[in-house]
């Protein structure tokens, strides 16, 4: 199977996933305690007001009718209007999603830049003091909750040293990167620990392979052996892990954006859940599902470039 056929087949697989997630999220948001009317009007609202708003929002219709309307909005591509913000859900996602994508991208770059070289050092010095020190340091990051790491970074670098802002997003591209540095670092510390452990194990396994011994016997330089033979083969499993962890990063962004007051989709999701804003919750879940599926597709394409056997 060539790359184009493989990509087309994977894109078609997203469609049933999208439909299934749409059904699940539609049911889940409606079994949450409370509802959007109670969140809007409060506990002291009159029965007449509750009935009027319920009718205006279309929540008085049978559940199957509501589900059909939900499918119609998806087919039109508008995802409906937000109950709490009174704007189109598509507009809200378009405004907030780039923030979360930038945060996730920065965290991924930080994690890879930190983990890959140290994983190599740990692998080639297996069970010696550099390996033990690197694994011990990363173990701290792996075992620390993201919100706790974020609070420490805020306390030290924003509160005490005043190097970075406490929160926000800024106005210019430079300010965006500046404001997102600490939240991206908080996400990257635990992410990098997972990458390092996986890549270290893969490098150790590849170093003992026969083709590496053959490359050394040919007299190839150590740099060529490590870069061309060891790194390429060790990265195959690690790339798949990175793709899976990016999905976790999007989940971790919910906590991180709340700690650092970053106006991304994670914080929007938390606010929408508290407000029982059904259209926003449904739209965000579907958008994130498609995004994660595309990340997995990109991961598979990178794996195919490293190892063509993946497509078979």
Whether 187 and 146 have beta carbons less than 8 Å apart is answered as yes
61 band by pLDDT with thresholds 50, 70 and 90: confident
pLDDT in tens, 108-152: 899 899 988 898 888 888 888 888 899 888 888 778 788 888 888
- Supply the pLDDT for residue 178: 92
Tell me, yes or no, if the pTM score tops 0.75.
yes
Q: How many domains does the chain divide into?
A: 1
Greater pLDDT, 237 or 134: 134
Whether 285 and 48 have beta carbons less than 8 Å apart is answered as no
Evaluate whether residue 152 is within a structural domain: yes
Task: Please report where in the chains the tokens 């194990």 appear, as a residue.
Answer: 201
Structural domain boundaries, residue 132: 89-311
Evaluate whether residue 269 is within a structural domain: yes
pLDDT in tens, 251-305: 777 788 888 888 888 888 888 888 888 888 888 888 888 888 888 888 877 777 7
With 0-12 CB in 10 A as exposed, 13-18 as middle and 19+ as buried, what is 218? exposed
Evaluate whether residue 297 is within a structural domain: yes
Torsion angle of C-alpha atoms 153, 156, 162, 166, degrees rounded to 10 = 40
CATH number, domain with residue 176: 1.10.3720.10
Query: How many CB atoms lie under 10 A from the CB of residue 94?
Result: 11
Query: How many CB atoms lie under 10 A from the CB of residue 34?
Result: 10
Evaluate whether residue 19 is within a structural domain: no
Whether the pLDDT of residue 17 is over 60: the answer is yes
- Supply the pLDDT for residue 307: 65
Query: What integer best gives the mean pLDDT of the chain?
Result: 82
How many helices (H) and strands (E) in the chain? Answer: 13, 0
Evaluate whether residue 17 is within a structural domain: no
Evaluate whether residue 44 is within a structural domain: no
φ and ψ at residue 182, rounded to 5 degrees: -65, -50
Evaluate whether residue 83 is within a structural domain: no
Greater pLDDT, 161 or 4: 161
Whether 194 and 245 have beta carbons less than 8 Å apart is answered as yes
Evaluate whether residue 231 is within a structural domain: yes
């Amino acid at each position: 199977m060539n790359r184009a056929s493989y990509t087309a087949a994977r894109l078609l697989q997203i469609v049933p996933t999208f439909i299934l997630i749409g059904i699940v999220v539609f049911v889940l948001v409606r079994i949450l305690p409370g509802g959007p009317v109670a969140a809007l009007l409060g506990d002291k609202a009159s029965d007449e007001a509750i009935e009027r708003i319920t009718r205006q929002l279309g929540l008085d219709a049978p559940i199957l009718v509501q589900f059909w309307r939900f499918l119609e909005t998806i087919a039109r591509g508008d995802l409906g209007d937000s109950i709490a913000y009174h704007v189109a859900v598509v507009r809200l996602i378009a405004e907030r999603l780039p923030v979360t994508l930038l945060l996730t991208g920065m965290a991924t770059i930080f994690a890879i830049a930190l983990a890959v070289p140290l994983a190599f050092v740990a692998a080639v010095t297996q069970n010696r003091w550099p390996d033990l020190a690197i694994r011990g340091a990363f173990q701290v990051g792996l075992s620390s909750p993201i919100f706790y790491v974020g609070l420490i970074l805020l306390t030290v670098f924003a509160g005490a040293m005043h190097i970075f802002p406490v929160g926000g997003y800024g106005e210019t591209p430079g300010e965006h990167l500046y404001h997102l540095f600490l939240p991206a670092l908080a996400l990257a510390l635990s992410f990098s620990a997972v990458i390092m452990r996986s890549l270290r194990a893969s490098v150790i396994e590849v170093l003992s392979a026969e083709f590496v011994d053959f490359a050394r016997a040919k007299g190839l330089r150590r740099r060529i052996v490590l870069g061309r033979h060891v790194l390429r083969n060790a990265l195959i499993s690690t790339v798949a892990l990175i793709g899976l962890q990016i999905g976790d990063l999007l989940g971790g962004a919910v906590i991180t954006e709340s700690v650092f007051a970053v106006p991304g989709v994670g914080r929007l999701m938390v606010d929408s859940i508290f407000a029982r804003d059904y259209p926003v919750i449904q739209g965000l879940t579907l958008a994130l599902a498609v995004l994660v599926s595309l990340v997995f597709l990109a991961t598979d394409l990178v794996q195919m470039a490293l190892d063509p056997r993946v497509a078979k």
